[in-house]
Amino acid sequence: MDCQAEKSSSMGSPVECGNPRIETDGFRRSLAEFATGVAVITTTVRGERFGLTSNSFASVSLDPPLVLWSIRRESKSFAAFEACSHFAVNILADDQIGLSQHFARSGPDKFRELTSETGHGDAPLFASAAASFECVCRQTHDGGDHVILIGEVLRYSRYERRPLLFVKGGYAVAAEHPDMRTFATGAIAQRPDDSEERVLSNLMIRAYSAIASRLERARQTEGLGLTLLQARLLRAAATSPGRTLDELMPELFLDFAASRNLLESLVSLGLVAVDDRGQVRLTADGELRLKAIVAHARASEDILFKGIADTDLATVRRVLNTMVAKQLRTA
């Protein structure tokens, strides 16, 4: 097929293009531009364990909690998965390429010599995964040479691991995009076209991302145990106690469902309590944790703003305070 004739002038020339039924390799390579994670999906059927590596996993719905993946009809384990009542999705961490390769090959008993636990429906779960989803199989759909399985998640688990990625036909690791560090590295000043940064709010958003990701990293390494959003809610609740979630929301920059989840996470950690009028207050543990977070943020700021004149910092503080006060008045 003539790629030049097909191309639209604004899109540049494709490296390859064509009819996916004829140029199947090019079609595969184009699909492989879509980066995914890697999972080992497992099941137990009539006492026998099955598993295969998959990157077709995707989330479908939050309510009800549904996920999907697809299995090639020619896979040895196809009949087992088509008949299974439950399956488990083990999202692999970046040091589990060996496990991925192991389950990407057909074999008599792939679980021999491997340690696994069992989840719902006896589906095998692996330690050291980045996350797992234990599912009851709800539906199967025809998907050409694959069958699509939809599972309802009965239990999820997430661990403090970095996920393994798969892109362009190879394994990869997740690293922060360089644009996320633009501000911190001072690269803004080197950008030839700084027109975007002339819009002050754009610059502020970039500064916020740079600071937030730095604080988040430090928070994780120093084991303060809360995400930036959880810390923000804790701080908002402490600033004026007795506000409801609705009243706290303008300071969270999240929609209601996400704000409610955030609040529930702090309640389950025993850091805040909500009374029967919906008013949110810090518990004694919450007060202590907030003190530790504030001390940590102050120490991080000393490093972040080192070399910037006190008068400049005072101006930034005054401008930001004015903006926040204005925003709260109009919210």
Does 38 contact ligand FMN by CB under 6 A?
Answer: yes
Supply the minimum distance, in Å, between the C-beta of residue 74 and ligand FMN: 8
Does 259 contact ligand FMN by CB under 6 A?
Answer: no
Does 248 contact ligand FMN by CB under 6 A?
Answer: no
Long-range pairs, 293-298, Cβ under 8 A, ≥24:
293/219, 293/224, 293/226, 293/231, 293/234, 293/235, 294/235, 296/218, 296/219, 296/222, 296/224, 297/215
30, 56, 157, 300: which one binds ligand FMN (CB under 6 A): 56
Q: Give the binding range for ligand FMN (CB under 6 A) out of 48-56, 83-91, 249-257, 273-281.
A: 48-56
Does 54 contact ligand FMN by CB under 6 A?
Answer: yes
Closest CA to 3 of 22, 21, 15: 15
Does 116 contact ligand FMN by CB under 6 A?
Answer: no
Give the residues across from 248 on adjacent strands: none
Does 249 contact ligand FMN by CB under 6 A?
Answer: no
72, 181, 214, 281: which one binds ligand FMN (CB under 6 A): 72
Supply the minimum distance, in Å, between the C-beta of residue 103 and ligand FMN: 6
Q: Residues 254, 262: contact at Cβ < 8 Å?
A: yes
Reduce the DSSP state of residue 174 to 3 states and report it.
Answer: coil
53, 132, 230, 259: which one binds ligand FMN (CB under 6 A): 53
Does 43 contact ligand FMN by CB under 6 A?
Answer: no
7, 28, 105, 260: which one binds ligand FMN (CB under 6 A): 105
Distance, CA of 135 to CA of 153 (rounded, Å): 4
**Cis peptide leading into residue 108 (ω within 30°):** no
Does 29 contact ligand FMN by CB under 6 A?
Answer: no
Supply the minimum distance, in Å, between the C-beta of residue 212 and ligand FMN: 32
Q: Residues 140, 127: contact at Cβ < 8 Å?
A: no
42, 43, 44, 70: which one binds ligand FMN (CB under 6 A): 70
Give the helix ranges, DSSP H, for 120-199: 182-185, 195-198
Question: x/- contact string, 203-222, with ligand FMN (CB under 6 A)?
Answer: --------------------
Q: Which is nearer to ligand FMN, 36 or 209 (CB)?
A: 36
Does 227 contact ligand FMN by CB under 6 A?
Answer: no
Q: Would you state the structure tokens that stand for residue 165, as one six-digit string?
A: 């990625």
**DSSP annotation of 190:** G
CA torsion 257-131-229-263 (nearest 10°) is 50
Does 106 contact ligand FMN by CB under 6 A?
Answer: yes
**At residue 175, what are phi and psi to the nearest 5 degrees?**
-130, 150
Binding residues for ligand FMN (CB under 6 A): 38, 52-56, 69-72, 75-77, 104-106, 166
